[in-house]
Structure 1
Amino acid sequence: MKRLLSRAARAVLARRRVIAMVGVPAVLLAVNAPPAFAWISEVRHEAWLHSAEYTAAHGRWDVVELPEDVRINAIHAAMLPTGKVLLVAGSGNDQEQFDAGTFRTLVYDPATGDTNEVDTPSDLFCGGHTFLSDGNLLVAGGTQRYEVLDGFVQRAAGAMRIRNENPDRELHLDKGTGFRAPDGRTYVLTSPAHVMAATKTGEGEGTVVTASETVGFVESTEDGTAGVTDTPAQYTIPSLSPEDAANVYGMGEKMTMDKQDFQGIADSYEFDPFTETYVRVGDMTQKRWYPTLTGLPDGQVLATSGLDGTGQILPGQNEIYDPATKRWTDRPDLFRYFPTYPAIFQTGRQGQLFYSGSNAGYGPADAGRTPGFWNLADNSFAPVPGLRRPDLMETSGSSWAGPVQDQRLVVVGGGGVGESPVSSARIDRIDLDDPAPAFTPGPDLRTPTRYPSVVQLPTDDLLITGGSADYRGKGNSDVLQANLYHPGTNTLTAVADPAVGRDYHAEALLLPNGQVLTAGGNSLFKNVDNTKPAPFEQRLEIYTPPYRFHGPAPVIATAPKEVALGATMTVTSPDAARVTGARLIRPSAVTHATDIDQRSVRLDLARGPDGSLRLGVPGEPALVPPGWYMLFLLDDAGVPSTATWVHVR
């Protein structure tokens, strides 16, 4: 367990150094005047940023440096119902860590500074996640193999469809299993593969056997172009017994020296926040890298998109996780293509999802980019118009704007497809309950921004922070700015600027005390000329919004630990007389500027004869998916309480 020295504490030390300088001899001060006065100006500026006048208007940022032995590359972050923050690196976008099998997860307690490093059983780097109704975090997908860029591919490789015609036997093939082509060339699996038994229907002469199939990735046993072929062929597996070899074989299309993209895994876990352990559950039906997991009103989870086990984007195979059985089921009736990490939200209507158009990285520019409503009952999709610069939605942020009952969403920033240097300052919003839903313009950011973090606050404002103007911060383009978006007036207010750049692989989430924690950041370079590689940003930074400097916060004295949908809960507070509102906020599970979990729920408020507060919870699970929420009270000055955790059944 480690303790931290906050930026505020270091500022106190800095002020003490200023006092000590008063006694410095005048001649020494004169000799060092330029650097001395620059240093004094910096300290004075720091003091101004922490002054009561400034913080009450703009808030404050504080940098947190974890002890060196527990720092990780935070690729994913989730706010756990224990009040702690889960930071997941997996291999952390580090090929050496991947090759060494070093996968990392850290649980950080922002209230105490304590940390706990958790055993991480698979490379969860670039998987998907969402909270389940019991508070467990479902984590699925991740990395099977790192990319190999053009010019660095050493052996021809490609997809191998492995078929099994035996209805009585399934088979596991280890990494390194060989496949022999008709011309004698051999290719080996780069990762294990499991092929299920064939399916058998009918009886007697009417028996029909349908071969099962899985896809593996193979590479030639010879260096260079010797293994290149574009001839489809059936491959034998020499290591199998004669009986298995008669039923199990490979079907290859072509083997090339082309660039090889990241490859996904099918591994799936539930992270238990109370024991702080990963629990293995059923594998997905598809391997996925960069998938989105969307929680549904009945507690099940829909997985969409991702790169498969050969590095190809899935053309539309989507699947459902059932937390009761811990198993995934393929849903061919919901076959629909999206780019990777699509921002797909559960709307206020059961069976209807909304895709905002935000996504993070892989897929052609002319497919799956149009925002709209996805009807799960018949798999229809209804596009919506009005989005400004729809060609600049990759690496944009999306969020509910205000209470979810209002059904308003915003999209923020974004950039061109792939490594485009073009980015957008756009904020557009849409009312999903409008008879003819369409995006309408909001205010623009001060700077065009890719990878913005968008966090819902208990006051209904959105904090928009971080990102970069160019792809992965190239050209030293990190955006060191923060703004508050006000949904009620559709306006934007500049607030205190962060000190730490956050771009690719960065996250931000709301803490129970009303602060916002930011983590991660993975720039390609650290200088304008793009010549010096940048290290992964391992510092944390915490933003304290202006409302924390507007007077004493209301206090929650008692609140129930559980409440049912549609029920009314009784909450007591010594400040009940000045409480004017209450919100339930679902905790974040965020990666790659994608956070579809967070949502704020407005509670009906009435006062009991004994001075207690009676808070009514909506009864629609599409609005309030069962699970753990942070309960905030708001007073007449707009100051939120520290939250207490409530489990909505």
Structure 2
Amino acid sequence: MTYRPSRRLRKIAIGSTAVSVLAGMNAPALYGWTTSTYHDYKIEQPEYKAAYGHWEQLDVPRKYRINAIHAALLHTGKVLLIAGSGNDETNFGAKSFKSVLWDPVKNTFKEIDTPKDMFCAGHTQLPDGRLLVAGGTARYEKLKEAVDRAGGAMLIKNENPDAPRTFPQGTVFVNNENGRTFRSEFPVTVPRAKKTTDRRTGKVTVTASEVRVFVQSLVKGEAGIVNTAAQYGIRGLEGRDRDNLYGLATKLGLDKKDFQGIKEAYEFDPVAERYIPVDPMNEARWYPTLVTLADGRVLSVSGLDDIGQVVPGKNEIYDPRTRTWSYTTTRYFPTYPALFLMQGEKIFYSGANAGYGPADQGRVPGLWDLRTNRFTPVAGLRDPGDLETAASVLLAPAQDQKVMVLGGGGVGESRSSTARTAVVDLNAVRPAYTDGPDLPEPTRYLNSVLLPDDTVFTTGGSRDYRGRGGSDILTAQIYDPVRNVFKDAADPAVGRDYHAEALLLPDGRVAVFGSNPLYGDAADTTPGFFEQRVEIYTPPYLYRDSKPSLGEGPRSVERGGSMTFPTRYADHIDTARLIRPSAVTHATDTEQRSIALDIARGKGSVRLTVPQDPSLVPPGWYMVVVTDEEGTPSAARWVKVS
């Protein structure tokens, strides 16, 4: 990597004595060497760290280096990194799916058996501390030029009201008109038909059930194309089964085949450290968003379905008590929409998303009432067409009900990007976005992390789609919501764009993972590679001479209740926060929230009271963190809120 001086060091380095003395020699080479040497020296100085923080690379044994697509902090303090197939079709074909559990305290790693391809799944924290992971990859995309077999969606119909029918992967369907044959790519079960009897006339009506499955031609090329709607018999069926069970399809062609999702869902148990299967979703989803609701249930929206189309607004809810899914209010969103639980149990859509979906549908920010399905648009956003790959965060404290959106780009592979940030106050009578300070440059894929002092640490991203043109941005900054300004932070050494994530650790540091650039050079001539290096950022507040601490306290508390922690710093504690652990992917972290706690200071202790509103404090495990008058945070204590 060519060294690029920090924006805070360029003027200092250019004016340094070493550069002046050696100016008559090989200036370009000496300038680079001197600047780099000075930079390496400067960033290790205590005063620099106290002003800008410090980066270090984590030493990860080769065996545990994975293509981190998802990262989630668990209540054990460990971080679950999920790759699945890791955007590597070779891994997908070999069914090589990976997850790794990292212990930041001991810096140890453990491989986790990963039963399905959770690449581009959705995830969220459950009330008991388990992590729900739902969806993932059933099939990789194929661009039009790579598609060699006709295929598409087929409906399998069942007119038998007495029995369901299961068809394995590879079931063959034969066109009744021209004899062209197609095979199913996935196993599928078709429910029994529905039989109803008219009470007045006694007439019996049978309504066929249907299930959709993706099929491909048995022959390559144009010989397999079917351009008209047709009925298909199912090879191997005889007698009445042949009449009752059949396929229907419209065009089956050589069009581009997009990624396809799966229905499978799992709970990851942080104590047993394993995935536990639960009932599958009703809809297959790839790139879905999962959001924990006020009662602990989970909303699942959007994603690409089993034939590679955006799920048409069929949203569903997971109940962790029964481990089952049920449909809920219908509303369309593009994939990975940034959704936040707000007061009044409403859902705010910031407008940010991760792609897939038409440019004119589901892109408008707004407040969504699940109970009535009323959606109230929120206006005022500059560059509204640049919301794909934007970051969003519910600013701290959550009681203020302010959401910030940062950067973003145009739809699809657009080269458009924006430096815009904006904040909306949802407590206002008529909420509307107002401009915040611009980012240093237009940025997509920005990772944004709530810190315990209520600031927002932002890092990485790229100006162009997936870092094209060598456009990764090696800068970081910290947003101060009180002053509404960005402050410079130390520059990272590793570029981060698509498939990168960052999260807050219990000790106040920030861990940054992943990145999946499209190309490996600025000229866009060589393929990119997945970034497996892990960086840790230590914010300036951890370089202060002293910081508060909390002793052992309760491990659980009810909403509206209080908890007491021993501390020698009671008189110096200024704020207390409940911080929900992250579950982040694709610059989308709907779990992040930092909730202000009421403080009662005693002699050698503090009593902290939790708000009663479940839409402000959804059930689950949280980190309890206090800060002193300077904003210096304590290490976290874990507590379960119910």
Question: Which residue in 2 is equivalent to 1:366?
Answer: 360
1:421 aligns with 2:415: yes
- What per-residue deviation string (whole Å, max 9, x for no partner) do you get for residues 545-572 of structure 1? 1111122221111221000000011111
- Flag structure 1 segments of 5+ consecutive residues without an equivalent: 1-30
Following superposition, the deviation at residue 300 of structure 1 comes to 0.7
Matched with 1:268 is 265
1:72-111 matches, within 5 Å, as 72-111=66-105
Aligned residue for 1:134, secondary structure, equals: coil
Displacement of 1:38: 5.5
For residues 351-397 of structure 1, give each alpha carbon's deviation from its aligned partner in whole angstroms, at most 9, with x where no partner exists. x1111100001001011100001111211111011011110000001
Residue 242, structure 1, aligned to residue 239, structure 2: yes
Task: Tell me the distance in 1 between the aligned counterparts of 2:26 and 2:64.
Answer: 39
Q: Deviation at 1:170? A: 1.9
Structural mapping, 1:441-456, within 5 Å: 441-456=435-450
Q: Distance in 2 between matches of 1:560 and 1:203?
A: 61
The number of aligned residues is 616
Which of 343, 357, 373 does residue 348 from structure 1 map onto? 343
Return the match for 2:183 from 163, 167, 188: 188
* Residue 604 of structure 2 corresponds to residue 611 of structure 1: yes
**DSSP 3-state at the match of 2:639:** strand
Q: 1:175, CA displacement in angstroms?
A: 1.3
2:390 match? 396
1:49-448 equivalence runs, <5 A: 49-182=43-176, 183-202=178-197, 205-331=202-328, 334-350=329-345, 352-448=346-442
User: 1:148-196: per-residue Cα shift (whole Å, max 9, x none)?
Assistant: 0011110111100112222332222111111111121111011222222
Q: Does the 8 Å contact 2:568/2:605 carry over to 1?
A: no
Instruction: Report the AA paired with residue 433 of structure 2.
Output: F
Deviation at 1:69, TM superposition (A): 1.3
SS at match of 1:349: helix
In the TM superposition, what is the alpha-carbon distance from 1:34 to its structure 2 partner?
A: 8.8
> Could you tell me which amino acid in structure 2 is paired with residue 227 of structure 1?
G
Residue pair 1:551, 1:639 contacting (<8 A) in 2 also:
no
**Alignment equivalent of 2:41, drawn from 47, 53, 74:** 47
Change (3 A) 1:389 1:41: closer
One-letter amino acid matched to 1:375: D
What is the DSSP-based 3-state SS (H/G/I as helix, E as strand, rest coil) of the residue aligned with 2:309?
coil
- The one-letter amino acid paired with 1:478 is D
SS in 2 for 1:361: coil
Distance 1:201 1:647 in 2: 49
- In structure 2, list runs of 5 or more residues that go unmatched: 1-24
In the TM superposition, what is the alpha-carbon distance from 1:42 to its structure 2 partner?
Answer: 2.8
| Higher alpha-carbon deviation: 371-380 or 283-292 | 371-380
| 2:578 match | 584
Aligned equivalent of 2:533, options 536, 539, 543 = 539
Q: Distance in 1 between matches of 2:110 and 2:197?
A: 55
Query: 2 CA distance for matches of 1:366 and 1:497?
Result: 37
Q: How far apart in 2 are the matches of 1:55 and 1:42?
A: 17
Which AA in structure 2 matches 1:585? I
CA distance in 1, matches of 2:315, 2:195: 25
Q: Which of 552, 555, 558 matches 2:549?
A: 555
**Shift of residue 443 of structure 1?**
0.1
Aligned residue for 1:468? 462
Is the contact between residue 558 and residue 573 of structure 1 (CA under 8 Å) also seen in structure 2? no
Q: What is the CA distance between 1:257 and its match in structure 2? A: 0.6
Query: Matches of 1:377 and 1:632 in 2, distance apart?
Result: 34
Distance 1:628 1:520 in 2: 26
Instruction: Tell me, in whole angstroms, the C-alpha distance in 2 between the residues paired with 1:133 and 1:383.
Output: 30
Q: How does 1:594-609 map to 2 (within 5 A)?
A: 594-608=588-602
Counterpart of 1:17? none
The amino acid of 1:142's aligned partner reads G
Indicate yes or no: 2:634 matched with 1:641.
Answer: yes
- 2:14 alignment counterpart: none
Counterparts in 2 of 1:167 and 1:578: CA distance versus 1, 3 Å? same
- State the 1:32 CA deviation: 11
Aligned counterpart, 1:8:
none
The answer as to 2:522 corresponding to 1:528 is yes
- Decide whether the 8 Å contact of 1:402 with 1:460 is kept in 2: yes
Gap change, CA 1:37 and 1:367, over 3 Å in 2: closer
**CA shift at 1:39, angstroms?**
4.9
In 2, Cα distance between the equivalents of 1:175 and 1:624?
44
Letter in 2 for 1:238: R
Q: Which moved further from structure 2: 198-207 or 267-276?
A: 198-207
C-alpha separation in 1, matches of 2:488 and 2:443? 15
1:37 shift after superposition: 8.5
Counterpart amino acid of residue 154 in structure 1: D
Distance 2:559 2:290 in 1: 23
Q: CA deviation at 1:611?
A: 3.1
CA distance in 2, matches of 1:360, 1:468: 14
d(CA) in 2 for partners of 1:293 and 1:534?
Answer: 30
Judge conservation of contact 1:550–1:637 (CA < 8 Å) in 2: no
Q: Is the 8 A contact 2:568 2:604 kept in 1?
A: no
User: Which one is further off, 197-206 or 636-645?
Assistant: 197-206
Q: Which runs of 4+ in 1 moved over 6 A?
A: 31-37
Contact kept in structure 1, 2:151 and 2:253, CA below 8 Å: yes
TM-score (norm. length: structure 1): 0.93
Aligned-partner Cα distance in 2 for 1:636–1:391: 41
The sequence identity of aligned pairs, in percent, is: 53
After the TM superposition, which of the residue ranges 516-525 and 542-551 deviates more from structure 2? 542-551
TM-score by length of 2: 0.94
